[in-house]
Amino acid sequence: MDSLSKLSTEDEQVRERLLAINDAMVARTVSWAKLNTGSWNTEGLKGFAPGLADAFSELDADVRLEPSRPFQTVIDTGETETIETGPVLRVRARPDAPVQVVMSGHYDTVFPDGTFTKITDLGDGRLNGPGLADMKGGLCVMLEALKAFEAGALKDRVGYQIVVTPDEEIGNFASAHALTEAAQSGALIGMTYEPAMETGAMSGGRKGSAVYDIVLHGKAAHAGRAKHEGRSAITAAADLVVHLEDLNVNPHGVTVNVGKIDGGNAVNIVPDLAIVRFGARAPDKAAADWVHGEIEMLLSRARQREGIHGHLHGGFYRPPKPRNAAQQALFDAVSGTGRALGLDITFEDTGGVCEGNNIFAAGVPNVDTLGVRGGRIHSAEEYVVTSSFAERASLSAFLLNRIADGRIDAAAIKALMS
Ligand SMILES: [Zn+2]
């Protein structure tokens, strides 16, 4: 693996090119961060996508915007509503090249329109602003790494598909199909552009993540005149919540969190509706199956209460991404490549989830924190380290060079998945 840390001619070329455009990458990221693309801001997402497609047209590739799939959400009345969001950016290059890579990212952020808009120079080589790290900076890094790779002599050895989604922060319900399809079109390795930690550490194993809504119906009645005729959905929900939280004591590494309860009405009405909204995380498939079974059992228990019925929505939308032999081999290759840049890259397991989970579930080993270095993401203190743009774009371009020249044997890494 020591050959990974040596600099090739192609490496030196991309390094020089990317160092020269570090500030331009920061400037483009700032201009993108000024446009709000909160996951529920459909107009903002639809307005942003054409400019993103234009930027990716700088690649020697086929670029198109594809409508995302409408998806359903349980609204506060207990009914489901169909949501249509922004398009998916799809980019494809050299499908006949010997090695195929799938790359992904998202252009939505967690910040609703008008909530966090200001870009602030923190004065210590860091910028604060919405989506700078997560992940408009990552999209810039992906794009410039590919442009640098394509300017080199190894271009024809690697083809790729890119999927950039409008809904990663809310679960990829509108775009998961595109990730799976791109991963399963012959890709050997996946590369996703979530931010790395400020220290440069990247994510290793990831848990799987589920979101659930349990809708409980009872029977309304006047609380004064006919309390005995009512059947309280809130009482059933309260009992259910306690049992769901009790699932946290388990030997499987599973966590469950009830995040929200909707329903009820005025205090003089026995409530006929309650919606229990919760999440679950599990380190592997057996643990995910276990907790799903427990949840179904608790729902059937709630239904045994007289006059109560209910139903379950949701499930494990992101399967677990454990650190198997293929993942470890890829992490070792990334660490070895990092040494060529003087970086000491470590991988840390996390309970967080991302598109890398979907790509792993589609059978493709992947590294998912190839974006910029930053921190405090999902808060108004989100920041990016400005010098990390050229550094991380170089890391990606170096990986592509090694995948192309065979120093990273992508086929051998993928073979470890089975
Ligand atoms: Zn992200």
Q: At 1, is the pLDDT very low, low, confident or very high (cuts 50, 70, 90)?
A: very low
Q: Are residues 199 and 287 in the same domain?
A: no
Gap from CA of 279 to ligand 1 centroid (Å): 18
Gap from CA of 353 to ligand 1 centroid (Å): 9
Q: At 115, is the pLDDT very low, low, confident or very high (cuts 50, 70, 90)?
A: very high
Q: Are residues 224 and 302 in the same domain?
A: yes
pLDDT of 322-378, one tens digit each?
999 999 999 999 999 999 999 999 999 988 899 999 999 999 999 999 999 999 999
Q: Which of 291, 318, 345 is the last residue of a domain?
A: 318
Gap from CA of 319 to ligand 1 centroid (Å): 17
On whether the CB atoms of residues 343 and 250 are closer than 8 A, the answer is no
222, 233, 237, 267, 313 from 272: Cα distances, Å: 11, 5, 11, 12, 18
Domain of residue 279 covers 208-318
Average model confidence (pLDDT) across the chain? 96
Gap from CA of 316 to ligand 1 centroid (Å): 18
Going by C-alpha positions, the residue among 88, 59, 18, 64 that lies closest to residue 160 is 59
Gap from CA of 225 to ligand 1 centroid (Å): 53
Beta strands in 309-382 (DSSP E): 309-318, 347-350, 366-367, 373-375
C-alpha span between 49 and 25 (Å, rounded): 18
Q: Are residues 226 and 196 in the same domain?
A: no
Q: Write the CATH number for 231.
A: 3.30.70.360
pLDDT of 273-331, one tens digit each?
999 999 999 999 999 999 999 999 999 999 999 999 999 999 999 999 999 999 999 99
Q: Which residues, in sequence order, are bridge partners of residue 367?
A: 191
On whether the CB atoms of residues 30 and 132 are closer than 8 A, the answer is yes
143, 165, 209 from 26: Cα distances, Å: 13, 21, 32
Q: Write the CATH number for 97.
A: 3.40.630.10
Token look-up 């952020």 returns 109
Q: Are residues 23 and 142 in the same domain?
A: yes
Q: Which of 290, 318, 346 is the last residue of a domain?
A: 318
Q: Are residues 141 and 256 in the same domain?
A: no
pLDDT of 222-243, one tens digit each?
999 999 999 999 999 999 999 9
Gap from CA of 380 to ligand 1 centroid (Å): 15
Q: Are residues 194 and 287 in the same domain?
A: no
Q: Are residues 190 and 236 in the same domain?
A: no
User: DSSP letters of 233-255?
Assistant: HHHHHHHHHHHHHHTTS-TT--E
Q: Are residues 195 and 214 in the same domain?
A: no
Is residue 257 pLDDT above 90, yes or no?
yes
Counted domains in the chain: 2
Q: Are residues 216 and 186 in the same domain?
A: no
